[in-house]
Each structure stands twice: as structure tokens, then as C-alpha cells.
Amino acid sequence: MRAPCGYGVARRRSTMATDATVVIAPDHPAIPGHFPGDPLVPGVLLLGHVIAALETHRGPVRLHGIPQAKFLAPLRPGEPCTILFRSMDADAAHFECRKGLELVARGSLRFHAVHEPPEPGAGIGESQPAR
């Protein structure tokens, strides 16, 4: 996709519904303190799983920010939670987290891809093994 008049870079937007299902174990170290006697999955723990699901789809990323994150319903340890990406482009993704049909959280992430360093011997001017 080309930008008009050759200026800038046009973004290609995808509306795929990539998903992953996670279950936070009741014995996870973050659970006992959040909240004793009435445990809930901490939002930051759920966001960590959202980022991991993004990296499963996109490869390694460096997070620049979370412009929006809303936690709309409690998620208890042991409850399955589905992470869906409603839209994704080169540097942003919009997500939803659901338990069944209930919306638990939604928000957006800003990031850029992290490219792995080249393997030894793969640089310009270095000899390559014969094939």
C-alpha cells in the first residue's frame, strides 16, 4: 500500500480476530494479595497475557504504551479468559478479554516490532557456508 504523493508510510490495517485463551491458576503468586479471601486476577497480570498473545501473533514487540485499558468485570483465578484482537496495524492493536460472552477488559496497545539480531556469519561481507 503506497502513501499519497509518496510521502510517509501508509498503514495496512487488519481486522482479524486472533484469539488466545488463558487461565490464571489459583496458586499464581499474585493471587493471595489481590484480595485475601476474595481473590481476583490483577489487571496487570491480565495485561501481561494480552502482550504475550500479541507476541504470539506478531513476534517480539517493544511496548510503547497502553493508551487505554478498562477493566469492566472481575476475573477470578481458574476462570478461562479469551483474548481477542479486534484490529491491528503496524504499531497498534485493540483488544478485548472475555469470559464466555462477558466483556472483562478492553483497550489498546502501542508497540513496534523488535527484530532479532542476525545470526553469526549472516552479515554483509562475511563468508557464507556453501549450500
Q: Per-domain residue ranges for the chain?
A: 12-113
> What sign does the dihedral 72-57-108-10 (CA atoms) show?
negative
Model pLDDT, residue 116 = 67
Query: What is the per-residue burial (b if ≥16 Cβ within 10 Å, else e) of 14-50?
Result: eeeebebebebeeeeeebeebeeeebbbbbebbbebb
Query: Could you tell me the fold of the domain covering 12-113?
Result: Thiol Ester Dehydrase; Chain A (3.10.129)
Model pLDDT, residue 36 = 87
Model pLDDT, residue 101 = 95
Ranges in the chain, pLDDT < 50: 1-16, 122-131
Model pLDDT, residue 117 = 63
Model pLDDT, residue 94 = 97
